[in-house]
Structure 1
Amino acid sequence: MTTTADLEGLLATHEDDVLAPDALVGLDDREEFPDGAVRLLDEAGLPAHYVLTPDGDFSRTVRLLRAVARRDLTVAIAHGKTFLGAAPVWVAGTPHQAARLAERIRAGEAVCLGLTERDHGADLLASEFAAVAHTDVDAADVTGTGSANGHGDGSGGWRLTGEKWLINNATRSTLACVLARTDRTGGGRGFSLFLVDKRQLPEGSWRNLPKVRTHGIRGADISGFALDGAPVPADALIGGQGDGIPVVLKTLQLTRIACTALSLGAADHALGLARDFATGRELYGRRLADVPHVRRILGRTAAAALTVEAVSALSARSVHTLPGELSAISALTKAYVPTLTQETLTSLGELLGVRGFLTSPPGGGFAKLERDHRICAIFDGSTVVNRAALLNQMPRLTRQLSRRTDAEGLRAAADLTAPLPPFDPDRLTMLSVTGCSAVQALPDMATRIRDQGPPQAALLINRLLAELASFERESADFIPVAGGLPSTAFGLAEAYERAYAAAACLLLWLENPPLRTGRLGSDGLWLRACLTVLLGEEPSDGSHGTDNAPSAVLDTLADVVLTTPATEFTLWGAAS
């Protein structure tokens, strides 16, 4: 299997050809697919990591995809889509289906996920794409009344009709996992998932739809396909008939966390560009990196980048250790990580000034990076969709705040060097019965760090506990209402996301001794910087003018950023 170090080394050797910034910008300008870069990743064995076997490591997949996204988001999105397309089979497929698909993915075949439709967008329950069992089709030949009503059992195969649109890799993929209506009346049990092999379809039953021009990721294959009575065998069905929506929702628990790799890579790339600009630019005879305001921006954005990395790391490992909590974890992770990363990119764009708008050096491709990343908040459910999903579980999550946590699962997720248990898709649930262990353990962890951790963190811990108590009071009476959520409710979701992010930082600090050493770990620097960003930078605790003041903490972190390559400015790497 490919290691992160192996992939980093290979990608570095191609930064003058298929991964050269100018070459990638040129492809973007011409809206051309990055064939050369995708072939390179295939040859490097990256597709094998899109196969989620019981003994696999989901967090390694995230780290590898991050390495690609650090170079170019279009390449990462175009290549990584195969994991999204295949994930329903890892969640609900039979062993035979999984083995067969794994073989083809390892051979470099692309898979797409066909969920959305032109007239219905992400409203999956309104989907019109239909699958009719062969028994129904036969009845229609005789009576003319056959329909997608679910009367057939599909034992003789299915015929698929309809259109899927705005699909990543719709044209270039050889396999497509599609959601289809199998009951005319629809509803939560009226849809099923099918893995369609394009190469096995009769001529004329499948046609590709034109590429859609997009504002970002312009070279990606964002297109669609239409089927007209396309026959597929009975074993194309993933899970049982009517299981489509539940399987999709469980699949999203994996893919939403996988999407964080894109944001982490984007943050790495942007910090590298900003660092090079600040150290190589002089203004009025003074190095830009020495200007206090610039250092504050670098320190703040670096702390934000480390915070989203902590969230991503804990969530990715929780796929193995806390699968029953992923309905909550994945929603808050997908809402939090791209949102904070986009804010980070905006801040760095202000630092770069006009150069941030250039599409070639000396801008270094920041404009493309910032534009491409905007789609990451929309993939697999927008920020609003994910916060709404979190709010629908909020009463249960709030009740669980004072309950027991899965201490062992939490510890295994937080120790970045610990072996992971096998991934067990049967433990995925639609709702988390036990809440979110990380947030529920926050008071105990905060007390441990306040009593045993760096003294400089004590005031921040007190503020953190006060904010958690405030959240508990404000959410105590919250009840989701039918027909929509009030805008004020989303503040509760954001507060819960921040609590989880704080818990991720505390957990990584406690469970990884290497993260308490070196320039990042000394005196709890990275932990204090992350908590400073999470809690706000204007405390009324008397710390102004001291080494523990927000400005001093962020200024010290800026020193580390300015002297550390982007590939090494990482908690994950330091821990291992």
Structure 2
Amino acid sequence: MSWELDQVHQDFQASARAFVDRQVRPLVESAEEAGSFPAELWKQLGSAGLLGLITPEAHGGADGDGLAVALLAEELARASGGIAVTALVSAYMAAPHVIRHGTPAQQDRWLAPLAAGEAVAAIAVTEPGTGSDVARVGTTARRTEDGWLLNGRKMFITNAGLADLIIVAARTGDAGRGGLTLFLVGRGTDGLSLGRPLAKMGWHSSDTREVLLDDVALPADAVLGTENRGFYQIMEAFQLERVALAAMGIGHAAECLDLAREYAGQREAFGEPLTHLQTIRHRLAAMEVELEAARLITYQAAARLDAGHPEAARSVARAKYLAAISANRIVDDAVQLFGGAGFVEESPVARHYRDVRILRIGGGTDEIQLEILTRGMA
């Protein structure tokens, strides 16, 4: 048993970091100011193979694993949470539904363009009155002679304004878990409309909107997976999504720890560098310990998910909870160490502070992860 990455994953981590340093970091400031994802990055990410890590080779991907996705998420988040989540939602939160459950025709239509960065995907489950309780989705899909008619509203949908494909959860059967189905809805479909971009506390460079479905007519072959099994398909996909979000937390925390160390070594207080103060050195050491604990549990969760380990779901819940909590604490400590310099918008730690907070909410809240881990206790 080893707690180190194998050479393949070490090499991939190094190449992902080099890509982020070369292609992503120079665009972060302008993307934040514009409030949008840099369009040129899509094909650059695709050409580098970073959008098709788990896509089958037959569809232009690498047929790789979730641990590679976690490493990519970590490296992207070190630069920008908004840019990271935009790419990750398309490639590793929406596309996996097509990879796992798409028909051959659906896979032929979407997988290669998504892996190449020539198309963008979104997943629309959350509604104005339904967040963590996925089984209560109220959007309806009524069967017609030609297919289906969808009506409803979705809220907080990442990539909605960019998406060529939106995967929509709608109710096709009875209330509860057994009555949901996923549908493929293409850009420009009649009856599909979008709200304005939502002004968010963080993730400024990501697109988040309301999705409105008003008599959206779809053909019968728009069903993704099995009718009335959508809830279970969503729960399955949540596993990789939560690993990616946990890894994003690690990226935010790692970047802020590096920034804090550098700042503490240069900033003087009372006539000497901050690192000469024991309280500062101890704080930095504690941040490192917490980061490494979160990183190890996240890598383990990814590896267990890849291996089909019987404890994979619990490992993922632990990782999502611990990494999100720890990352928020580490980033907050970095802001504290920077003092006033960490509170101004020009400071990178301020951006990470804004971006990291959503990780305790998106993809399953802290409370949902704890509920998963306490099932069977009552």
Q: TM-score if structure 1 supplies the norm length?
A: 0.59
**Is 2:376 the partner of 1:366?**
no
Asked if 1:35 corresponds to 2:18, the answer is no
C-alpha distance in 1 between matches for 2:40 and 2:67:
26
- Secondary structure of the residue that 1:35 maps to in structure 2? coil
Partner of 1:295: 281
Return the alpha-carbon distance in structure 1 between the equivalents of residues 317 and 99 of structure 2: 20
Q: How far apart are the structure 1 equivalents of 2:44 and 2:112? A: 19
1 or 2 for the larger relative contact order (CA 8 Å, sep ≥6)?
Answer: 2
Q: Aligned partners of 2:292 and 2:99: how far apart in 1?
A: 30
* 2:63 is the alignment partner of 1:74: no
Offset at residue 309 of structure 1 (A): 0.8
In 1, Cα distance between equivalents of 2:18 and 2:63: 25
Letter in 1 for 2:179: G
1:170 to 152, 155, 160: 160
Q: Give the structure 1 partner of residue 3 of structure 2.
A: none
The answer (yes or no) to whether the contact 1:170–1:176 under 8 Å persists in 2 is yes
How many angstroms does 1:222 deviate by? 0.6
Q: Does 1:158 align with 2:144?
A: no
**What corresponds to 1:380 in structure 2?**
363
Aligned equivalents of 1:39, 1:217: Cα separation in 2: 21
The structural deviation recorded for 1:197 is: 2.1
Corresponding residue number in structure 1 for 2:185: 196
Aligned length: 363
> How much does 1:52 deviate?
6.5
In the aligned structure 2, how far is the partner of 1:95 from the partner of 1:62? 27
Which protein has the bigger strand share? 2
Q: Does 1:181 align with 2:187?
A: no
Q: Does 1:63 align with 2:71?
A: yes
Q: Equivalents in 1 of 2:340, 2:308: separation in Å?
A: 45
* Cα distance in 1 for residues equivalent to 2:164 and 2:68: 25
Equivalent pair of 1:25/1:368 in contact (CA under 8 Å): no
Q: Is the contact made by 1:131 and 1:158 (CA closer than 8 Å) also made in structure 2?
A: yes
Q: Map residues 447-466 of structure 1 onto 2, 5 A cutoff.
A: none
Contact 1:78/1:221, CA 8 A, preserved across alignment: yes
Instruction: Name the counterpart of 1:51.
Output: 55
1:160-559 to structure 2, matched below 5 A, reads 160-183=150-173, 185-199=174-188, 201=189, 204-360=190-346, 363=347, 365-392=348-375, 395=376, 479-480=377-378
Letter in 1 for 2:162: R
Instruction: Give the drift of 1:163.
Output: 1.7
Is residue 194–residue 238 contact of structure 1 (8 Å, CA) maintained in 2? yes
Specify whether residues 36 and 293 from structure 1 end up closer, same or farther in structure 2 by C-alpha distance, changes over 3 A only.
Answer: farther
- How far, CA to CA, are the matches of 2:284 and 2:196 in structure 1? 42
Report if the CA contact (8 A) 1:52-1:58 is conserved. no
Q: Whole-Å Cα distance in 1 between the matches of residues 324 and 95 of structure 2?
A: 23
Q: 1:102 to 1:307 in 2, by over 3 A?
A: same
Unaligned runs of 5+ in 1: 136-155, 396-478, 481-576
CA distance in 2, matches of 1:31, 1:105: 23
Name the residue aligned to 1:19: 25
For residues 63 and 96 of structure 2, the distance between their equivalents in structure 1, rounded to whole angstroms, comes to 15
Question: What secondary structure, in the 3-state scheme, does the structure 2 residue paired with 1:9 have?
Answer: helix
SS at match of 2:345: coil
**Could you report, residue by residue, the CA deviation over 1:285-315 in whole angstroms, capped at 9, with x for unpaired residues?**
2121221111101111011111111011111
Task: Give the Cα–Cα distance (whole angstroms) in 1 for the partners of residues 56 and 329 of structure 2.
Answer: 32
SS of residue paired to 1:210: coil
Q: Where in structure 1 do 4 or more consecutive aligned residues deviate above 6 Å? A: none
Residues 352 and 293 of structure 1: is their aligned pair in 2 closer, same or farther, counting only changes over 3 Å? same
Partners of 1:25 and 1:359 within 8 A in 2: no
8 Å contact kept, 2:88–2:244: no
Quote the offset at 1:11 in angstroms.
2.8
The amino acid across from 1:77 in the alignment is V
> What amino acid sits opposite 2:359 in the alignment?
C
**Residue-by-residue CA offset, 1:314-335 (whole Å, 9 max, x unaligned):** 1111112134333322222211
Shift of 1:130: 1.1
Measured against aligned partners, the alpha-carbon deviations of 1:24-45 in whole angstroms (never above 9, x if no partner) come to 3454345343335455434433
Shift of 1:56: 1.8
- Rounded to whole Å, the distance in 2 between the matches of 1:89 and 1:324 is 24
CA 1:210–1:90: 2 relative to 1, 3 Å:
same
1:267–1:305 CA contact under 8 A, matched in 2: yes
Aligned-pair CA distance for 1:86: 1.8
**In 2, Cα distance between equivalents of 1:7 and 1:328:** 28
| 1:545-568 deviations in Å (ceiling 9; x for gaps) | xxxxxxxxxxxxxxxxxxxxxxxx
Measure how far apart 1:276 and its partner are.
1.1
Q: Over residues 59-99 of structure 1, what are the superposed CA-to-partner deviations in whole Å (9 max), with x where a residue is unaligned?
A: 11211221111111111011111111122233433455345
The Cα offsets for residues 332-390 of structure 1, whole Å up to 9 and x where unpaired, read as 22111111111111222222211111222xx3x11111111000111111001111122
What SS does the aligned partner of 1:56 have? coil
121, 138, 145: which is aligned to 1:111? Answer: 121
- Cα RMSD after superposing both structures: 2.3
- Higher Cα Rg, which structure: 1
For residue 111 of structure 1, report the CA deviation from its aligned partner.
0.8
Instruction: Describe the superposition over 1:367-414 as per-residue Cα deviations: whole angstroms up to 9, x where unpaired.
Output: 11111100011111100111112211xx4xxxxxxxxxxxxxxxxxxx
Shift in CA distance, 37/268, structure 1 to aligned 2, threshold 3 Å: farther
**In 1, Cα distance between the equivalents of 2:313 and 2:259?**
35
Give the Cα–Cα distance (whole angstroms) in 2 for the partners of residues 55 and 212 of structure 1: 35
Counterparts of 1:211 and 1:187, CA distance in 2: 31
Structure 2 contact 82–206 (Cα < 8 Å) conserved: yes
CA distance in structure 2 between the aligned counterparts of 1:168 and 1:243, rounded to whole angstroms: 23
The answer to whether the 8 A contact 1:37-1:75 is kept is no
2:5 aligned residue:
none
Contact 2:140–2:170 under 8 Å retained in 1:
yes
Q: How far 1:269 moved relative to its partner? A: 1.0
What is the identity, as a one-letter code, of the residue corresponding to 2:175? G
What TM-score results when the alignment is normalised by the length of structure 2? 0.89
* Correspondent of 2:131 among 97, 103, 121: 121
In structure 2, the CA distance between the partners of 1:117 and 1:366, relative to structure 1 (3 Å rule), is same
Distance, in Å, in 2 between the alignment partners of 1:96 and 1:323 is 31
* CA apart distance, 1:175: 0.6
1:185-231 CA deviation, whole Å, 9 max, x = no partner?
422211111122225x2xx4211111111111123101022122222
Name the SS of the counterpart of 2:370 in structure 1: helix
Q: Who is 2:142 aligned against?
A: 132
The DSSP-based 3-state class of the residue aligned with 1:163 is strand
- Please give the per-residue CA displacement for 1:94-114, whole angstroms capped at 9, x wherever unaligned: 455345432121231111010
Provide the C-alpha distance between the structure 1 equivalents of 2:301 and 2:355, rounded to a whole number of angstroms.
Answer: 24
